[in-house]
Structure 1
């Protein structure tokens, strides 16, 4: 069962009247404590509400889900942009031992990469790489933690494209740059929860100028995916107060390598020149 962003709670509210007494108890708790439920196991939820685990599973089935995990995943997708950093920190600090948290986070990163690989379209990746190659000028924009990804992508794209600009962080500085972007250019917009308002506003402005926008984000329901002409997705969870950029970084690595395959000759020439320059300047030990 697939729903658009924030539809899970709305759907639960709509179906509330026809739920059984036991299912209404679960629904009441979910609607009032969604920020906790997205992290709770079936056992934890059943114990908290005071009903059986099988009732929790039937509750998910009654809403049209395959089971509790699919209901929980849909709920996570619906509300992860609402979660404050404090809410995420409180979850991380609740009843978990240090060693368990560390291994859980690392396993979560592994799953995020695996899910990203499973859902990735190689044809879409190649199409986006071709679009970037053909652009007259490539602009990259990412704010908050996504700025790290923007800088990383920009660093490597400059080896493959002669005209690359990573837009500055300041709002006024960003708009000073936006006026220079033309229809033959491409904007790569990077945004993960919590989505930056300024990123969305900037690309909405570019769409009025008929600039092609490529999105790098986390789901079909994200604001970037809804606005961008093309996009690629990296799985993103909210297990801690830290934005885990492991899967997004891996996806960007894949995009960089895909682009490099289309310009081997030019890259070899450029790196030969750079190696000589780095050697003369003593850049590396």
Structure 2
């Protein structure tokens, strides 16, 4: 029987769990200091990581254990049954595992678009919505900004909602009054309540919603008219969004393809402006 490294076993234990950044810091400490952790109390571990003791308990229960003592017992078993690793190997395996998880997400996305009809049709619908609203709050804001910035080059009226609450309500109402029919919403873990509220408000106003999220089985899937899943990498302290960004690029391409003459005219106008104003260096 081939022994499995402690890092691989810990990564397997952590993989796919919906952990907060603080909880991931605990997981990271476990990976780097496992031999020490098996002799620590929850108070000791909390002090070393720089979190509260209840955070350690919540971390253990998030992994499916009854509490920290049960987790520590499992960690002892990992230490006894694993091969040794140098600190350099631990760090390399951690980074390699994160990249491998992203590769798996991209492969899943590739399977999703193997039959491109849904993406093509979604692009056609979004191209016809003027204005087009884009929503992304908190950690999802980066993907929404990328999508909106790109879409503005090929679409005549793109309105980004990057702030929740009444500010989001104002943008949604004004866009709807101006003729908007669709909203593209990026909603990645951890799912912001204010983003869900904005989506529900959009639906109340009569918007159709194209939702880009990490899992087709999310509890709010029923709020979407079109749901396009793209997995997130959860191996690091913060989620990485490689697959959602690629999906955003594919959707931009579908919008461009749906209105080729408009796309070409707008791109040429932007290139002319860029050259005249010297936006970019050669």
Query: Scaled by the length of structure 1, what TM-score is found?
Result: 0.69
CA distance in 2, matches of 1:277, 1:125: 31
Aligned residue pair count: 213
CA deviations 1:220-274 (Å, max 9, x no partner) are 2224422111111101242122111101001111111122222222222222222
User: Is residue 117 from structure 1 mapped to residue 105 from structure 2 by the alignment?
Assistant: no
- Is 1:90 matched up with 2:26? yes
Structure-2 residue corresponding to 1:144: 138
Give the structure 1 partner of residue 71 of structure 2.
Answer: none
2:195 to 190, 194, 199: 199
Conserved 8 A contact 2:120-2:254: yes
Matched, 1:101 2:94: yes
Question: Equivalent residue of 2:194, what SS?
Answer: helix
Matched, 1:190 2:186: yes
Query: What CA distance in whole angstroms lies between the structure 1 residues aligned with 2:110 and 2:201?
Result: 32
Uncovered stretches (5+) of structure 2, i.e. residues with no partner: 1-8, 33-89
Equivalent residue number for residue 175 of structure 1: 169
Structure 2 residue 248 is matched with structure 1 residue 255: no
- Alignment of structure 1 residues 29-108 onto 2, 5 Å: 39-40=11-12, 76=16, 80=18, 83-96=19-32, 97-108=90-101
Aligned pairs for 1:214-229 within 5 A: 214-229=210-225
Q: Where does residue 241 of structure 1 map in the other structure?
A: 237
In 1, distance between residues paired with 2:102 and 2:143? 16
User: After the TM superposition, which segments of 4 or more aligned residues of structure 1 sit over 6 Å from their partners?
Assistant: none
1:216 alignment partner, SS class? strand
Bigger Cα displacement from structure 2, 90-99 vs 186-195 = 90-99
2:264 corresponds to which residue?
Answer: 268
Contact 1:189 1:224 in 2 (8 A): no
- 1:155 equivalent in structure 2: 149
The alpha-carbon deviation at position 209 of structure 1 amounts to 2.0
Q: Distance in 1 between matches of 2:10 and 2:175?
A: 41
2:109–2:243 Cα contact (<8 Å) kept: yes
| Greater length-normalized contact order (CA 8 Å, ≥ 6 residues apart) | 2
Q: CA RMSD in A?
A: 2.2
